[in-house]
């Protein structure tokens, strides 16, 4: 059974709908309008207040209800989504942000539905009647465009690649759909570690100030925090910094860390290894500060500053403060 809908799975972090969710609502509406489909937001385990907020932006909100969905767990989320598809019919497209949860549960459901799944998309469009995407492959060396012929087509989308739509205004309706979950999913959560307390969420930040091994010591990261503060940004780090135990893994940007697409990315003392660049190469403007003029990071930068980050950053902070 099919349904003529496009679903965006909403994400809630720190009690709020994420910026990526808003971006995807805009993308889904555009795709839906182009093929006369119904765009809908899907809330798995969120609260009524979030459903109502979504209903102001999209005509239909499907709220999946079960007390076992209050906190994220991949097997339960996959189960819930699968059941909704069975109850309601197969939508043309299901999309969510390519965050750590999206890339975990979406392929599980795609596999169960015998459907195509594409991860880390940077654009979505129609190829004839098939939904299609553009996404980096081979470690970001090339981009591929692929269309998915199965229904539904599953996509996870890199945060920040679509703008936040300004004029979404709706009086949408909320449908609450109860579902059953298995008692035992075979998984037992031992501990949950969230974003480091007091830190901004990297994937959502409009400005990221990132530091690498070139920052020299863990104490020097206080400088980055100051720069991030004056720019209202978040601090990110390279893997070398995490491996050295200087900063926690939830701040890592790159292939084995987070993918970010801020308006401004400032890379300080980062060499620009492909594994790092993969996590930030869709940032709108990249500024690199490195004392080696041949550092690879300059190839991915819009503006480069050759110099000692420990000297340049305080000057930057002073200059920004004098302008604000
Ligand atoms: C499977 C795999 C996955 C990986 N995933 C990731 C990932 O997710 N994220 C990630 O970041 N890496 C990842 N890596 C590691 C990656 O390949 C690099 O080793 C790492 O990014 C290097 O970190 P870095 O640039 O901080 O350190 P380095 O490569 O040591 O570079 C330090 C830079 O700082 C500059 N510098 C030194 N002192 C100063 C100063 N005072 N002022 C200014 N500049 C200075 C140097 O010129 C140099 O360019 C992965 C590797 C593998 C194999």
Share of the chain above pLDDT 70, in %: 99
Residues 52 and 169 in one domain: yes
Domain-located, residue 191? no
Higher pLDDT pick, 115 / 256: 115
Q: Is 8 left (phi over 0), alpha (psi -120 to 50) or beta?
A: beta
Per-residue pLDDT, 294: 97
Give strand pairing partners of 7.
40, 94
**Using CA atoms, how far apart are residues 234 and 262, in angstroms rounded to an integer?**
10
Signed CA dihedral, 121, 124, 130, 135: sign only: negative
172 and 247 part of one domain: no
Specify the residue with its C-alpha closest to ligand 1, atom 48. Answer: 271
Both 148 and 225 in one domain: the answer is no
Residue whose CA is closest, atom 14 of ligand 1?
275
196 in any annotated domain: no
For the segment 196-214, the average pLDDT, to the nearest whole number, is 86
Distance from C-alpha of 309 to C-alpha of 316, rounded to nearest angstrom: 10
Across 40-55, average pLDDT: 93
User: Which residue's CA lies nearest to atom 39 of ligand 1?
Assistant: 214
- Establish if 165 belongs to a structural domain: yes
Tell me which residue range forms the domain holding 31: 5-178
Residues in contact with ligand 1 by the CB-under-6-Å rule are 212-214, 238-241, 252-257, 269-271, 273, 275-276, 279, 289-292, 295, 308-310
Q: What is the CATH number of the domain that holds 163?
A: 3.40.50.620
Residues 22 and 158 in one domain: yes
| Same domain? 129 vs 161 | yes
In angstroms, what is the span from residue 214 Cα to ligand 1's centroid? 8
In a domain, 113, yes or no: yes
**Averaged pLDDT for residues 207-225:** 97
Note the pLDDT of residue 67. 87
C-alpha 239 to ligand 1 mean position (Å): 7
pLDDT of 34 over the 90 cut: yes
Report which protein residue has its CA nearest ligand 1's atom 41: 308
| 124 and 261, same domain (yes or no) | no
Q: How many domains does the chain have?
A: 2
What is the pLDDT at residue 197?
65
Helices (H), the chain: 19-34, 48-55, 74-88, 102-112, 221-230, 239-243, 274-277, 309-323
pLDDT tens-place string over residues 259-298: 898 999 999 999 999 999 999 988 999 999 999 999 999 9
Please tell me whether residues 77 and 221 are part of one structural domain.
no
- Listed residues 118, 145, 178: the one ending a domain: 178
Report the CATH number at residue 222. Answer: 3.40.50.1220
* Boundary of a domain, candidates 163, 178, 193: 178
Condensed to tens digits (0 to 9), the pLDDT of residues 82-132 reads 999 999 999 999 999 998 899 999 999 999 999 999 999 999 999 999 999
pLDDT at 68: 87
In a domain, 190, yes or no: no
Residue 257 has pLDDT above 80, yes or no: yes
> Dihedrals φ, ψ of 246, to 5°?
-75, -35
168 and 45 co-located in one domain:
yes
What is the pTM for the complete model shown?
0.84
What tens digit of pLDDT does each residue of 306-322 get? 999 999 999 999 999 99
Measured from the Cα of 274, ligand 1's closest atom is: 17
Residues 147 and 216 in one domain: no
Helix (H) or strand (E) holding 136: strand 130-137
Decide if pLDDT at 8 tops 70: yes
Indicate if the pLDDT at residue 196 is higher than 80. Answer: no
**241 CA closest ligand 1 atom index:** 26
Residue with CA at minimum distance from ligand 1 atom 26: 212
Rounded CA-CA distance 102/61 in Å is 19
- Confidence category of residue 203, pLDDT binned at 50, 70, 90: confident
Q: What is the mean pLDDT of residues 186-200?
A: 77
Residue minimizing CA distance to atom 47 of ligand 1: 292
What was the pLDDT predicted at 323? 84
Q: Is the pLDDT of residue 245 over 70?
A: yes
Please give the average per-residue pLDDT across 193-221, as a whole number.
87
At residue 320, the pLDDT reads 94
Q: How many angstroms separate the alpha carbon of residue 278 from the centre of ligand 1?
A: 12
Q: Which two structure tokens, joined as six digits, stand for 228? A: 């991030």
Q: Are residues 20 and 136 in the same domain?
A: yes
Q: Is residue 197 part of a domain?
A: no
Question: Is the domain of 66 the same as that of 164?
Answer: yes
Interatomic CA distance for residues 225 and 230, integer angstroms? 9
Same domain, 124 and 212: no
Query: Whose CA is closest to atom 31 on ligand 1?
Result: 271
| 192 in a structural domain | no
Question: What spacing in Å lies between the alpha carbon of 224 and ligand 1's midpoint?
Answer: 16
Residue 121 lies in a domain: yes
């Amino acid at each position: 059974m099919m349904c003529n809908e496009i679903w965006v799975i909403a994400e809630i972090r720190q009690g709020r709908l994420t910026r990526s969710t808003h971006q995807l609502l805009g993308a889904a509406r555009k795709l839906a309008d182009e093929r006369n489909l119904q765009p809908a937001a899907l809330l798995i385990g969120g609260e009524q207040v979030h459903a109502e907020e979504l209903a102001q932006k999209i005509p239909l909100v499907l709220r999946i209800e079960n007390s076992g969905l209050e906190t994220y767990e991949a097997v339960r989320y996959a189960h819930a989504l699968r059941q909704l598809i069975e109850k309601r019919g197969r939508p043309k497209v299901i999309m969510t942000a390519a965050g750590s949860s999206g890339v975990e549960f979406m392929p599980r459901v795609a596999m169960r539905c015998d459907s195509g799944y594409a991860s880390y998309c940077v654009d979505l469009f129609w190829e004839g009647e098939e939904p299609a995407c553009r996404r980096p492959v081979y470690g970001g060396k090339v981009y591929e465009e692929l269309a998915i012929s199965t229904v539904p087509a599953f996509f996870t989308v890199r945060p920040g690649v679509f703008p936040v739509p300004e004029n979404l205004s709706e009086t949408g309706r909320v449908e609450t759909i109860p579902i059953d979950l298995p008692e035992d999913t075979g998984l037992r959560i031992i501990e949950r570690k969230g974003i480091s307390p007091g830190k901004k969420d990297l994937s959502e930040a409009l400005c990221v100030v990132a530091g690498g091994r070139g920052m020299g010591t863990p104490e020097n990261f206080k400088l980055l925090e100051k720069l991030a503060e004056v720019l209202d940004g978040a601090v990110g780090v390279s893997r070398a910094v995490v491996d050295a135990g200087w900063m926690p893994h939830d701040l890592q940007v790159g292939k084995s860390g987070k993918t970010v697409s801020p308006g401004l990315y400032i890379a300080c003392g980062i060499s620009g290894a492909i594994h790092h660049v993969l996590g930030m190469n869709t940032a709108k403007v990249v500024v690199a500060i490195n004392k080696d003029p041949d550092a690879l990071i300059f190839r991915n930068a819009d503006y480069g500053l050759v110099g000692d980050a420990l000297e340049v950053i305080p000057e930057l902070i002073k200059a920004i403060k004098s302008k604000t």
